[in-house]
Amino acid sequence: MNQIEKVDRFRAKNRDNRVWYSGAVHILFNATCLIGTTIGSLFQISDLKPLELFTIPVMLIAGNLAVYLIHRYPLHTKYPYIHKGSYGEHTLFHHRFYTNENFQVVKKEDVDTNSLFFPPVVVIVFCLIFIPSLYFILNLFLPTNIVFLALGMSSFYFILYETVHYTSHLPENHWVLRISHLQRMRQHHMDHHNPKHMSSYNFNIVFPLFDHVFGTCRR
C-alpha cells in the first residue's frame, strides 16, 4: 500500500467514525465568536489618534510571530501534559489527514473539527481567557484605544489564520486562489505538509515573515 492509499484509508476511517458533527455550525460558531470579539473591541475605541494606528502593524507582526512559535513548537513537538491536544491533534491527525500528496479537501466531511479548523474549545479559551487576560495586562500601561485596538487585531489575526489555512487546502483550481498571495501561501503550506519537512520548515500561515527571519522558509 503506497502513501496515497494509506491517507485515503485514514480519511475514510475518520469520516465513518463521525457520530455527530456539522461543519457549517463549527464554522459559524468560530466566526461568530471571533468576529464578535473583533467588532466588540473596536467599538470601544473613540477619538483615535493617527499615532495609535501603529498598533495595527505591530499586532500583525506579533500575530505572525505567535503563530510561528505555536506552530513550530507545541504543534510539532511533544510537551508533557499538553501533547495530546497539541501535537496529537495537529501532527498525528491533521498531518495524516492532509499530506503534500493528499493536500486538498475532497469531501464536505473533510471540513472536520480536528482536520482543518481549530476546535471550538480553542476559540472559547481565546475569547474568554486570553483576550480578557491581555486586556488586564495591557491596560496597566497603555492608553485605552491602543489596548482595544490590540485586542481587536488579535482576534482579527485569528480570523486571517483560519481563512488562509482553509483556502490553502482548497483545490488548486478554486476561484479564490486566483488571488496570487493565497496561491503562494497554499504552496508554502503544502510544502510544510511534506512529512519530511513538516517539523523543520514553513510554519507561518498568513504570511511567511518569521519563516524568513528564522531561516525556516523552504521554497
The answer to whether position 198 is within a domain reads yes
Domain ranges, residue 77: 3-14+22-213
The answer to whether position 40 is within a domain reads yes
Sites in the chain below the pLDDT cut of 50 = 113
* Res 113: pLDDT: 47
- Other beta carbons less than 10 A from residue 196's beta carbon: 8
Single-letter amino acid, residue 135: Y
User: How many domains is the chain built from?
Assistant: 1
Choose among 147, 155, 145: nearest CA to 50.
145
* Res 74: pLDDT: 96
Per-residue model confidence as pLDDT tens digits over 134-153:
999 999 999 999 999 999 99
- Other beta carbons less than 10 A from residue 180's beta carbon: 8
The answer to whether position 202 is within a domain reads yes
Per-residue model confidence as pLDDT tens digits over 174-196:
999 999 999 999 999 999 999 99
* Res 219: pLDDT: 72
The answer to whether position 219 is within a domain reads no
